[in-house]
Structure 1
Amino acid sequence: MGEKLPRGPGGARLRSDTSSRPVQTLRVKMVLLGSSGVGKSSLALRFATDEFRSTSPTVGCAYLTRAVHLSDVTLRFEIWDTAGSEKYHSVTPLYYRGAHAALLVYDVSQRETFVRAQVWLKELEKQYIPGSTVIWLVGNKVDRAQGRQVSVQEGRSLANDRGLFFTETSALSGDQVSELLFAVAHRVHECTGAQQGGLSEWKETPHVDLRRRDTITPLVSCCKVGP
């Protein structure tokens, strides 16, 4: 039997890297921001390999990739998983500058991470022109429903007030993770596909070892997108 692939909204499949690719492959830089322990590394791994495993705290920033094939183009996501620890806070802007998409992640069972996500948002707003980055508020660990401290309504209200997109996920079960990546891909492509100076063409960077979880070499983009 063939490999079971994750599905996007409406049952659309996210094709694997071995599928026939459209002619053009474009680069999308996506960064995950949030407190330590909210599941950013687990989400990044789900995005990249559709797997879950326990991870150690990220040191600096980890880098993974994933190709998402839309109807007329392939988007190669560079997924930057930033450290949530305070001691890395000062260097984090090096990794999210030039991001086409930013995911602000909090743990629905830990209210302080929801508050902290709003601090990350203020920091992010200092680094980009309003409307230049697709920003998603992500409530992770919905598998911990019995211990929930942040309601769906609170997350959605914050997103609406700040002009963000909103989704709740579970990196553990995979619930809504592939759908989130698919939605981000469509939104980024929709906002940049027809723009001059939009997404740049993907180029391999053989000096980066994608097997390492502690890769910290930053890449900076000048591309702009709108929400």
Structure 2
Amino acid sequence: MGSASGVENISYDYSFKILLIGDSGVGKSSLLLSFISNSVHDISPTIGVDFKVKLLTVGGKRLKLTIWDTAGQERFGTVISSYYRGAHGIILVYDVTRRETFTNLVNMWAKEVELYSTNHECIKILVGNKVDKDGERVVNKEEGMALAQEHKCLFLECSAKTRENVQQCFNDLSLKILEVPSLREKGSGMVKKHTMRQKHIYGTTQNGGCCSQ
């Protein structure tokens, strides 16, 4: 809950749900922490589903991104439909030094997105992580670009370690989401729902509840 503190009282134009998916160890948690803070040290594997909240201004709009990380679930293939429900954007991550993480995106993750995603216009971005290990690279940039094109995804290579292109990844995704009217509308609806909930909470707690009458 600590990651959301301070966000409650700040106004924003849209609220978007973003998912990070891909094999264990590709650097999903590192990407998330690199984006949220300036440090990627001391990362232990996440158990279950973790999420972080980040406020971002893109294209002149204030966005609240709730970014969900599947870490700990992926090896069981148990990332269920509730995780995908209502996602506005999906970040598919592979490790450029491990080919199986790249092929699994096609064989497993892309199929799961297709199966469970409820927003059919949701924006997807394919991300090749760990480009700082260029000497160990086994998946070249052209292969990544070709796969992204085939699945109608955006594409970017980045490094959570050096922070190269990490901010760019979330910026590009957010801008693209804002271009889709149906996603924009749903993101706006989430803000309205949040505002109504806040009024209800504050209304029933002030002055012994007299405001709620």
Shorter-normalised TM-score: what interval?
0.7 to 0.9
Tell me by how many angstroms 1:187 deviates.
0.9
Residues 164-197 of structure 1 deviation map (CA, whole Å, 9 limit, x = unaligned): 1110010000000011111111111121389654
Conservation of the 8 A alpha-carbon contact between 2:48 and 2:70 = yes
- Greater radius of gyration (CA): 2
Distance 1:155 1:179, change over 3 A: same
**2:62 aligned partner, one-letter code:** T
1:192 alignment counterpart: 181
SS in 1 for 2:116: coil
Retained in 1: the 8 A contact 2:17–2:88?
yes
The alignment status of 1:159 with 2:165, answered yes or no, reads: no
The answer to whether structure 1 residue 52 and structure 2 residue 34 are counterparts is no
Alignment of 1:16-165 (within 5 A): 24-83=12-71, 85-118=73-106, 119-128=108-117, 131-165=120-154
Distance of 1:84 and 1:161 partners within structure 2 = 28
* Residue matched to 1:215: none
Measure, in 2, the Cα distance between the counterparts of 1:34 and 1:24: 29
Alignment correspondent of 1:225: none
| Backbone CA RMSD of aligned residues | 2.6
TM-score, length basis structure 2: 0.78
Q: 1:178 aligns with which of 136, 153, 167?
A: 167
User: SS in structure 2 opposite 1:56?
Assistant: coil
Residue 51 of structure 1: how far off its partner (Å):
2.3
SS at match of 2:180: helix
Using the size of structure 1 for normalisation, the TM-score is 0.74
Given the superposition, is the C-alpha separation of residues 201 and 145 from structure 1 closer, same or farther in structure 2, using an over 3 Å criterion? same
The alpha carbon displacement at 1:72 in A equals: 3.5
Identical pairs, percent: 35
Q: Which has the higher contact order (CA 8 A, sep 6+)?
A: 1
Gaps of 5+ in 2: 1-5, 199-213
> How far apart, in 1, do the equivalents of 2:186 and 2:114 lie?
22
Letter paired with 2:153: L
Query: Could you say what secondary structure the match of 1:52 adopts?
Result: coil
Please state how far the C-alpha of 1:139 moved relative to its aligned partner. Answer: 0.3
Q: In 2, Cα distance between the equivalents of 1:92 and 1:55?
A: 24
Q: Residue 103 of structure 1 contacts residue 138 of structure 1 at CA under 8 Å; is this kept in 2?
A: yes
In terms of fraction of residues, the more helix-rich structure is 2
- Unmatched 5+ stretches in structure 1: 1-16, 207-227
Q: Is the 8 A contact 1:82 1:92 kept in 2?
A: no
Matched residue type, 2:155: F
Q: Secondary structure at the match of 1:136?
A: strand
CA gap 1:86/1:47 in 2 versus in 1, 3 angstroms: closer
Q: Confirm or deny: 8 A CA contact 1:35 1:84 kept in the other structure.
A: no
Instruction: Say if 1:178 and 1:144 are closer, same or farther in 2 by CA, change over 3 A.
Output: same
The answer to whether the Cα contact below 8 Å between 2:84 and 2:118 also exists between their aligned partners in 1 is no
